[in-house]
Structure 1
Amino acid sequence: MGDPKKPRRKWQGPGHPWRKEVLEEEMRLLGEYGLRNKHELWIAKSLLREIRARARKLLALPEEQRLPLEKPLVARLYRMGLLPSEDASLDDILSLNVRHVLERRLQTIVYRKGLASSIYHARQLITHGHIAIGGRRARSPGYLVPRDEEELIGFYPLSPYARRVEQVKSGE
């Protein structure tokens, strides 16, 4: 059927669900990044938790064992867009927070590029199929955009939004 050790869900909820400060911070992040529900936030937190746990395990190793394992992790996180450079250290990985992960979501990048008037409008454009990455329709607002795909984001060629942009460019 499946790996019995692998959890079925992509997320793990908070350890203590009714702390006021945690609830307020979660609601602030939901509004700021236009998330549909807390599950989307918990997915980002769980991904970050796994990344940081790998970094901590590597820090516990002796240096000669750690260095060959550290390079691929840093390179992967750089390609994901979570680290600023390929020569980052494990300390840089440990300093990541949930906002770094949320900034890499397709919804946030579409809004930051100016393709949408609000973060909620960005979500609407994506789910309705108006946004494409390299000409391929993307319909998942939670897609984590790799660094090399970031400049390929634009309107889907058959979308009315793409036609409108072409009309504005041609001066009609």
Structure 2
Amino acid sequence: MGDPRKAKKNYTRPRSIWTSDQISSELYVVGSYGLRNKKELWKAQTEIARIRNQARSLLALPIEVRQEKETKLLNYLSRFGLVSNNSTLDDILNLKIEDILERRLQTMVMKRSNLKSPYQARQIVVHGHVSIGNRIINLPGYLVKKDEETEILVHLTPVVEALNNTS
């Protein structure tokens, strides 16, 4: 069965969290995307930093070694809709925190369903009123893949009843 992986932090905090510019910019992003706390913001920042570091390390490699790894990274990011299919490593270096926050299920539901606020979208997702395909997803931070965008369904009636009626 193997040994279980050790749980580790999947985000890094900023070095100083008490600067007024940083507080105001973080609060704006947290409020506009309906994040529960700054930890969710820091997770997205860490993910963007990880992707950009990969792109930087690929740029340092010789061209013949870089080609295969570059296509893998670009395919991975295009699957999530973060970059287009004909992008380059420079496009990856231009990614911002908003690009990854736009791919969250909570944000997608808010934009597609004409809801009043991102917090209302979060509540609908957490209460299990959203399904992708035939799967109920109650994680507001779920990153929606590009091919799953069309399969997002918001059921204001309980999802189990709605799925039973369609089958």
User: Could you state the TM-score of these two structures normalised by the residue count of structure 1?
Assistant: 0.86
- State how far apart, in whole Å, the 2-side matches of 1:132 and 1:10 are: 26
Residue 69 (structure 2) aligns with = 69
Q: Give the structure 1 partner of residue 148 of structure 2.
A: 149
Q: Identify the residue that residue 132 of structure 1 maps to in structure 2.
A: 131
Residues 154-169 of structure 1: matches in 2 within 5 Å? 154-156=153-155, 159=158
Q: Give 1:1-172 correspondences, 5 Å limit.
A: 8-83=8-83, 85-114=84-113, 116-156=115-155, 159=158
TM-score, length of structure 2 as denominator length: 0.88
Judged with a 3 Å threshold, the aligned counterparts in structure 2 of structure 1 residues 118 and 62 are, in CA distance, closer, same or farther, namely: same
- Name the CA distance, whole Å, in 2 between partners of 1:8 and 1:53: 20
Measured after TM superposition, the shift of residue 156 of structure 1 is: 4.3
Unaligned runs of 5+ in 1: 164-172
Measured on the aligned residues, the alpha-carbon RMSD in Å equals 2.2
Gaps of 5+ in 2: 163-167
Residue 68 of structure 1 and its aligned partner are, at CA, apart by: 1.4
In structure 2, distance between residues paired with 1:158 and 1:110:
15
Give runs of ≥4 in structure 1 deviating > 6 Å: none
CA contact (8 A) 2:109 2:154 kept: no
Separation (CA, whole Å) in 2 of partners of 1:115 and 1:8: 37
**Partner of 1:29: helix, strand, or coil?**
helix
| Cα offset, 1:129, TM superposition | 0.7
May I ask how many residue pairs the two structures share in their alignment? 160
Question: How far apart are the structure 2 equivalents of 1:2 and 1:132?
Answer: 30
